[in-house]
Structure 1
Amino acid sequence: MNVGKRTSRRAAGLLELAVGIACVLLVLFIGSFSRVRADLTSEKRYTLTEATQHLVDSLQDVVFVKVYLSGDLPADLQQLSNGMRDLLDEMRVRNPDLLQYEFTDPSASLDEETRNKVYQQLQEDGLQYTSIRTRAKGAQSEVIVWPGAIITYQGKKLSVQLLKSQLRATDAEAANRSLNNLEYEVASAIRKLTTPFRARVAFITGHGELDEFAVKDLTEALSEQYDVTRIRLDGKIDALSSKTDGVTYRINNYEAAIIAKPDSAFSEKDLFILDQFVMNGGRVLWAVDAMDPHLDSLRTHQFSMATPLELGLDNLFFAYGVRFNKNLLLDKLCSPIQVYTRPYGDQPRLETLPFPFQPLVVDSNNHPITANIDPVQLKMVGNIDTIGLDSARSTILLATSRYTRIMRNPVRVSLAVVDMDLGLDRNNSPYQPVSVLTQGVFRSAFAGRMGMADSVLEAIGYRAWSRPTAQVFISDGDAIANTVNRQTGTYYPLGYERMAQAKVYGNREFFVNAMNFLLDDKSLISIRSRAIRLHQLDPHRIEAERTAIQVANVVLPIVIGLLGGAAIYLLRKRRYAHNR
């Protein structure tokens, strides 16, 4: 009887096991034909944005991505490589036929000559290598890696630098920033290769604006996505738009315009041309100073008197919902300058000290334009007031820190502030707006001022109320200017810090994002605004406790398995002993 019961229980157990295995196999079989995926991460790391999904779904031909971040990599770069593979896998799930990729190690060849040829070709293709110093078991070594990819589409190719390294960031922070930007960089490159239409952007000239060399870096960055040119207005009504017979209003020749640090007044004709450009839906990025700090005097005499800069833009700005105030801001959160301080012996001493007239400003509203970018460096900047308009809304993009003081006109600018206790943590006016986005419908700044017959206004295509449009204002013309060495004819990246010998600030990203937003490239903005956090291990603790960690990872699972097996054996023994 007992033998029969034991046999029956054993058969029932085997049947349950067989049914369980069959269910698992059935689920795996069905899963092999299904594309159902679940992203359980808090930041949805493995989920593409809607913009990227649409981009991948709309591919018309094969996109091939060749990634060179492979091989024996440090932990930070290995996570970046894994992130790139995960991203491409997600893209392939959306479109397996037209999205293909390959990972390859440029340093795989044992032959030095072959490796050098590969390196040279990658440099010619636009990729940059990174030299990484690693430390293992007390020994240091240097590894050359190529954290980049080359994307090919219909015979065209584009290089993508995956590692966005900043001098002031640790390796973990640089990898985290690069991981955040992976989807943006890849999607942006694919978009550039696959999009036939390119919006037109015009730098306005003729009022002392920055020359071509001073905005070279931004011009090249924008040229990757748009057709960029320079236009001199000279009072010509057709400079930015044209009038077609039979069409009531003018048609813009450009989708967007940039006004970069003018230093002389705009004529009424030029103001009218810009106003009508806005009225016809044109987007404008204004990087304008309200005060002239007279920097030549500051360099020569260590101080200067900043005075208002009369550009004739006040009425225009008022109509568009902003007011540039005639003041300068001091901010405790600022970038440094090098100045000669108290002599050391008989020699003057050159020191690097924070200069409160050069604020570092950050995202104040969690807006997509300013998400995930470094602080933006400003020089001699004033604040901006927003003016309520019924038909438009304003958004503050950048603001100073809580330790800010407003210096009213006229302002004495002195290098001596680097040695002074300004008390900015006590006597201050915190969070002053320095960049504003306005969106909506605007009334012409010339409405009610024209003094012309209706027939004349109709002939020139005058529009009193704008089409829906948007503008970005920043109260510092220098923010858009890259550093230039006029003697050697070289320029540096926008956001470059001369003392750090590297790009440190987020100026370029801010202006590129602003133009993306103005031109309704919100898909790129939505991708860039994602945030993914790396859970970084402590390298010093890993090195110090290496043996203990290895033992725990190798021995502990075995011990747990043995204890579990022993527990099951004892339970079964007790159970069957009881049944007997």
Structure 2
Amino acid sequence: MSNKLSSMLAAVLLVLVFFVLVLLNNQLMGGFRADLTEDRVYSLSAGSKQILKELDEPVHLYFFYSDKASKGMTSLRNYANRVESLLEEYSSLAGDKLVLHKIDPEPFSEAEDQASQFGLTAATIGAAGDSVYLGLAARNAYDDERTIAFFDPQKESSLEYELSKLLYQLSDPQPVNVTLVTDLAVQGGQNPMTGRFDPPWTSFTQLQQLYDVETLGSDAAGLPADTNVLVLVHPQNLSESMLYSIDQYVLNGGKALVFLDPHHESDPMAAMGGANGSELSQLLSAWGAEFSNQQVVLDAAAGLEIRTQTGTTRHLGFLGLDQGRLDEGDVITRDLDMLNGASFGYFTRQENTPTDWQPLLYSSESAAVIDSSSYAMIRDVSQLSADFEQASRYTLAVRLSGEARSAFESVPEGTEKGEHQLQTEALNVILVGDTDFLTDRFWVSQSNFFGQTIYTPFANNGDFLTNAVENLSGSDALISIRSRGTFSRPFEVVEKLTVKAEQSFREQEKRLQQQLEETERQLAQLQEQGGQSGALVLSQQQQQMLDDFMQQKVDIRKALREVRHQLDKDIEQLGTILKFINIALAPIVLVLLLGGLFRLFRAFAGRSL
């Protein structure tokens, strides 16, 4: 009787302990979260937390998600839950400075009208053509609005950056002033070779649509005081006062995007004047970098096909950089597919420099360099391939950050006196080794549509410029946010099984195709032997050969079905094992652990009594 009473008392105590622990967890640890994912996809980076900390006025977030309309769309619903969880993390950390509203915009409802008023995009998904919303609208205390029209699952790695950028724009809605320093004809003008007027470069036309852009020549004495982002393109013969102004601007927390070139061959006069490299070595040395303005990178793997008078040939100096040659960890290049340019120069890092070095663009391993003067004089591009000797991979663009020193020991004579900054720990500069990269011919095509010129991009050069300026125009906290990992994890074992089976399937399919082609050839020969009568009479030997092939084709098709069946069988077997582990084995282990804990607690309670 006493043992039974002890067991009942122990069970009651266990229940009480459970409820007490749950209560304490909810009251004392409600704000505590542990992100155990490999890439910490549910946690915010330090940059995002800093942006939330700097919010002065409450920001309302309106998360529109068609929960009912998306039933059955497993992949989309999983991603919507991922977005919602991240928004809740933002709201939890910001407190009353961030108010999250979750809205299901059902068809023909006021919520759907509200989503349309915000300008959100409804995706038409499924056979029934249902409209599904998965977007975000945000509004601050001054009624400024920002939206993410639709959360694209393919851009999941940039999700935190996009959300933090939206909040930053609402917390600091001041216009961005971009100062462009260049002597190139980015605004268009008369071509000295043809006499015709060239249009403005599309890359900078797009930039002017987004920001307030002020253009200065190399003869300017210094930068405007209200410069938020400096864009420096092909600097040559800059005055000492301008170099000093750029030096001090960067050391005082300014952000700079610099395009250099060993040979700007888009210049109409370039063919006559030889190489015309950029010059900024004095500042680059202070920033811990070196640029080879007398050598052009050739790349046998990334060279673009061009048309010549003799046909199509590969130009080793015209490079097409695909995703494999872009840094996947930086938000500027993460979602880009292709960047085209010509006569790239390369960057090297100085030894023992404290500056942080993050390459953004690379050549392939099949790259070499050539003297820029020799390159500029070459007329037959096939000569580049004939003289090519592979060397190594080169850095074509790089982001510099962290510590840097001034290129000037003191204020130059004739320059306005002021506080002389000697060093910084917050350098923020992006260097790109090409300027032809920005011209239209390498990334956009023109067409006439009822008298209107339409520009169609075939590469992402304009996106790179916009992304870079957008990233640099943000706060240091926003710039520090990099692309994150993805929520969805691949079934690696299943993928390996699929690839293995597909290889076997393709090999047999290729063999069948070869046999079909051989039979068609033989049948054509037999038809020719039939003469003009048009009748095809097969000998007994030929008929037997045809029958044998038809039987062989049936056997191979059967083998193909067996390969596919075996693939499905292996995947099903793996799924059965996983189901057993999740449904049966894990609960059994948990019950055994709880049983062991119960026995220990019971023994402890028995000794106490």
Tell me whether the two structures share a fold, i.e. TM-score over 0.5: yes
Local SS of the residue matching 1:215: helix
* Counterpart residue number, 2:398: 436
Local SS of the residue matching 2:368: strand
Instruction: Measure, in 2, the Cα distance between the counterparts of 1:272 and 1:62.
Output: 44
Are 1:63 and 1:151, in contact at CA under 8 Å, matched by a contact in 2?
yes
Local SS of the residue matching 1:291: coil
* Counterpart residue number, 1:159: 147
The 5-angstrom pairing of residues 77-226 of structure 1 reads: 77-106=76-105, 108-109=106-107, 114=108, 122=115, 125-132=118-125, 144-154=131-141, 155-164=143-152, 175=153, 177-195=154-172, 200-209=177-186, 211=200, 213-220=202-209, 223=211
**Which runs of 5 or more structure 1 residues have no equivalent in the other structure?**
1-6, 135-139, 165-174, 242-251, 299-303, 343-347, 499-504, 568-580
- RMSD (CA atoms): 4.9
1:407 partnered with 2:396:
no
Instruction: Measure, in 2, the Cα distance between the counterparts of 1:557 and 1:42.
Output: 20
Q: Percent identity?
A: 14
Deviation string, structure 1 residues 310-332 (Cα, Å, up to 9, x no partner): 55556665665433333332324
* Counterpart residue number, 2:260: 288
Cα deviation for residue 380 of structure 1 reads 0.8
Instruction: Measure, in 1, the Cα distance between the counterparts of 2:446 and 2:353.
Output: 45
Cα deviation for residue 62 of structure 1 reads 3.3
**Range moving further from structure 2, 13-22 or 535-544:** 535-544
Cα deviation for residue 84 of structure 1 reads 0.7
Instruction: Measure, in 1, the Cα distance between the counterparts of 2:315 and 2:164.
Output: 38
Q: 2:15 aligns with which of 15, 21, 38?
A: 21
Per residue, is there more helix in 1 or in 2? 2
Cα deviation for residue 130 of structure 1 reads 3.9
* Counterpart residue number, 1:471: 429
Q: 1:414 to 1:484 in 2, by over 3 A?
A: same
Cα deviation for residue 18 of structure 1 reads 1.2
Are 2:325 and 2:362, in contact at CA under 8 Å, matched by a contact in 1?
yes
TM-score, L = length of structure 1: 0.67
Are 1:363 and 1:370, in contact at CA under 8 Å, matched by a contact in 2?
no
Deviation string, structure 1 residues 437-460 (Cα, Å, up to 9, x no partner): 455112249x89x7xxx6xx36x3
Deviation string, structure 1 residues 168-207 (Cα, Å, up to 9, x no partner): xxxxxxx3x5222222111110111112556632122544
Q: 1:25 to 1:318 in 2, by over 3 A?
A: closer
Cα deviation for residue 377 of structure 1 reads 1.2
Instruction: Measure, in 1, the Cα distance between the counterparts of 2:309 and 2:122.
Output: 40
**Range moving further from structure 2, 144-153 or 201-210:** 201-210
1:64 partnered with 2:60:
yes
Q: 1:383 aligns with which of 345, 348, 361?
A: 345
Q: 1:309 to 1:548 in 2, by over 3 A?
A: same
Deviation string, structure 1 residues 341-376 (Cα, Å, up to 9, x no partner): 99xxxxx9x99x897721416678887566745466
Instruction: Measure, in 1, the Cα distance between the counterparts of 2:33 and 2:232.
Output: 47
Q: 1:36 to 1:236 in 2, by over 3 A?
A: closer
The 5-angstrom pairing of residues 259-278 of structure 1 reads: 259-260=232-233, 262=234, 266=236, 268-269=238-239, 272-278=241-247
**Range moving further from structure 2, 354-363 or 274-283:** 354-363
Q: Tell me which structure has the larger Cα radius of gyration.
A: 2
Aligned residues: 485
The 5-angstrom pairing of residues 303-322 of structure 1 reads: 307-310=274-277, 313=280, 317=284, 321-322=289-290
Instruction: Measure, in 2, the Cα distance between the counterparts of 1:314 and 1:480.
Output: 22
Residue type of the partner of 2:467? V
Q: 1:240 aligns with which of 205, 223, 227?
A: 223
Q: 1:508 aligns with which of 463, 475, 481?
A: 463
Local SS of the residue matching 1:146: strand
* Counterpart residue number, 1:11: 5
Local SS of the residue matching 2:99: strand
Local SS of the residue matching 2:481: helix
* Counterpart residue number, 2:512: none
1:357 partnered with 2:350:
no
Residue type of the partner of 1:152? R
Residue type of the partner of 2:463? R
1:329 partnered with 2:291:
no
**Which runs of 5 or more structure 2 residues have no equivalent in the other structure?**
188-199, 499-563, 593-609
* Counterpart residue number, 1:30: 24
Are 2:35 and 2:43, in contact at CA under 8 Å, matched by a contact in 1?
yes
TM-score, L = length of structure 2: 0.64
